[in-house]
A and B are shown apart, each in its own frame.
Chain A
Amino acid sequence: MIHRYKLGGLNLVLDVCSGSVHLVDDVAYDIIGLYEERNRADILSAMREKYAGVSAEEIAECYDQVEALRQAGKLFAPDTFEPMADTLKRKSGNTVKALCLHVAHTCNLNCSYCFASQGKYHGDRALMPFAVGKQAFDFLIENSAGRRNLEVDFFGGEPLMNFGVVKELVAYARAREKECGKNFRFTLTTNGMLIDDDVIDFANREMSNVVLSLDGRKEIHDRFRVDYAGNGSWERIVPKFQKLVEARGHKNYYMRGTFTHANPDFLEDIKQMLDLGFTELSMEPVVCAPGDPSALTEADLPVVMEQYEKLAELMLARHREGRPFTFYHYMIDLSGGPCIYKRISGCGSGTEYMAVTPWGDLYPCHQFVGDEAFKLGNVWDGVTAPEVREEFASCNVYAKPECRDCWARLYCSGGCAANAYHATGSVRGVYEAGCELFRKRMECAIMLEAAKRLDPEDY
């Protein structure tokens, strides 16, 4: 399968199954488009008619280049991966390598668009006691078999409302990681309200990554991200974020925004983040029930698509000016990215990745927390509902009929199980609106990567 598209003044052809990316001229673009439908003579004839200014020899040479790439397995490569679809998960057994620790099911902000219902996940407010967190680490170490790199995200709600326990848990994990042959990578996801010098020092020392929630423009941010008195949080958190990021050096962080029906023109919010001095950025479409006032509508989609293209243009321009910035969804490593097993295995929720509630219950991921039907077990007894784990284990890119004809399937691995469930009622479903946005992001990301590799004189 191939995917051809034109973007940013470039003609791109992706060969889905080999992973090859080709930059082509107009003649090659058309030949590749016709290659599987018509024979050589017909194609050459059609090209001679369309491109009167190109010699017959040139056109034939171009056809031969396409043919050579096909023979080299870099165009029209067949999909031979289906038998491997469950290999990674089977090989992994029941290995767990990442936990999302919900250290606080409560929040000091009251954002109406929150997928976690203001941090409560449709349940009671609670803070995770140290003993529960400690048991979660023991569970992870015991169930991570031969995996060295283990990820733990301190999540909420607002995790800094339970900062003392976060510090104790990190100390516990650091004390155990050497003897266990593990390498913990911690992430803190915070709304910023409680950041102070102590948090900055701790986060920049211990956290591999920090995710900072900021929606961009003040009026956009303050529309949803308000405290319980209804006051916007932008002015209180921005200076804290700036101080943390400045002190962070080269360690990873993301300014993570959410865009909604109120700001489908989210590029303006990205520009605001840049103006504030942030360069590692992420903007996510809101996750909420259809019909919610903040939900993106059909009419928003063309705007969002255009924003993604304009964002790619801005990134390229800034790259060429020597002022680059990162957009999480346009990060793509064409030469060193994931292997084929990873690309077809699905996201790992419910198998290698689980979320832990303040009470120690296990769920397939943070987005399923609070939905009892998806409860996997708890950190003391492990997985006590193997049928739920099995449902997620069988979730891979070949388990979804809609993915078979999609050129982007090896870039998304079948998509988000939670989005699929909320859109269709099944974790094996497909959230089509999300897919559309994902495909656009991949087109932009690959175009950007291709453009960066062009010689400066080709600009």
Chain B
Amino acid sequence: MKHIKTLETRNLCESAKNGGCGECQTSCQSACKTSCGIANQQCENAEKESK
């Protein structure tokens, strides 16, 4: 029996390899303007590691 279902997520350790291009949205620009969160932002790196 499977007790654990692991969702497909971006591997943060792997993202260190090609990350940091800086093309993504600035954190609260264009939206809430009064709190900071980065979880809702899209990665815009053209050379993102394959999953």
Q: Which residues of B contact A (CB under 8 A)?
A: 1-13, 15-16, 18-20, 22-45, 48, 51
Contacts and interface: CB of A to CB of B under 8 A. Distances in A.
Contacts of B23: 147-149
A149 B44 contact: yes
Given A23-B4, A329-B40, A367 B29 contact: no
Given A339-B45, A342-B19, A73 B28 contact: no
B36 A92 contact: no
A367 B7 contact: no
Nearest to B41: A338
Nearest to A353: B26
A332 B37 CA distance: 10
B4 to A, nearest CB: 5
Contacts of B9: 19-21, 334-335
Contact of B7 (A328, A334, A353): A334
Contacts of A445: 39-40
Interface of A: 17-25, 27-28, 58, 61-62, 65-66, 69, 73-74, 77, 80-81, 84, 87-88, 91-92, 95, 97-98, 100, 115, 147-149, 151, 153, 155, 185, 187, 189, 208-209, 211, 254, 256, 282, 284-285, 287, 328-343, 347-349, 352-353, 365-367, 410-417, 419, 434, 438, 441-442, 445, 449-450, 453
Interface of A (DSSP majority class): mixed
27 contacts: A19-B10, A19-B12, A20-B9, A23-B4, A61-B1, A65-B4, A69-B6, A91-B22, A151-B30, A211-B31, A256-B31, A328-B31, A333-B41, A334-B9, A337-B40, A339-B43, A339-B45, A342-B19, A342-B38, A348-B27, A349-B27, A352-B22, A365-B28, A367-B33, A413-B27, A414-B36, A416-B36
Contacts, number: 215
B28 A347 contact: yes
B28 A339 contact: no
Nearest to B44: A149
Given A28-B4, A149-B23, A100 B29 contact: yes
Given A21-B7, A336-B42, 16 more contacts: A18-B12, A20-B7, A20-B11, A21-B6, A23-B5, A23-B6, A91-B20, A341-B20, A342-B41, A347-B27, A347-B28, A353-B29, A410-B12, A434-B35, A442-B37, A450-B7
